[in-house]
Copies of this chain bind each other. A is one copy, B any other.
Amino acid sequence: MYERKIPKNLDCGMGMTMEIIGGKWKPCLILNIHNGAKRPSELQRLNPLASRRVLTVQLKELEEHGIINRVVYPVLPPKVEYFLTDLGKSLLPMILLMDEWGAQYLSKPEELPKLKKVI
């Protein structure tokens, strides 16, 4: 069992928020699900840079944190669908703003100093 050594900073709102959405792919997953993707395989196709494993794990954490619901259909081959909970939906204004802010610069990265080098 893994035991954390350094306490998380849950003293401020930011820390609390980052505890929930702070995984590399979590904000993307929330956005994808909001945009209509439901099944794990869809989410994997939408995020080809993410390994299958990480998406599985991060989806599970989002579920444990009450951000998404996991619905299992008893069929074969397996079918699973994810939905945003009310708590998850309450994140949307923030998530959408995050996506929009960054999207501004997708087409003009030169306006973000030091980033043009990275790209």
Binding site for B on A (CB under 8 A): 7-20, 24, 27-28, 31, 47, 49-50, 64-66, 87, 90-91, 93-95, 97-106, 109, 111-115, 118-119
Q: List 30 A-B contacts (CB under 8 A).
A: A9-B50, A10-B115, A10-B119, A12-B28, A13-B98, A13-B102, A13-B106, A14-B27, A14-B31, A14-B98, A15-B28, A15-B102, A16-B101, A16-B103, A16-B105, A16-B112, A17-B98, A17-B99, A17-B101, A17-B102, A18-B102, A19-B102, A20-B102, A64-B113, A66-B113, A87-B111, A87-B112, A94-B94, A94-B97, A94-B98
B115 and A11 within 8 A (CB) = no
Residues of chain B with a CB closer than 8 A to A112's CB: 16, 20, 65-66, 87
B94 and A90 within 8 A (CB) = no
Residues of chain B with a CB closer than 8 A to A14's CB: 27-28, 31, 95, 98-99, 102
Given A66-B113, A113-B65, answer yes or no on A49-B94 (Cβ-Cβ < 8 Å). Answer: no
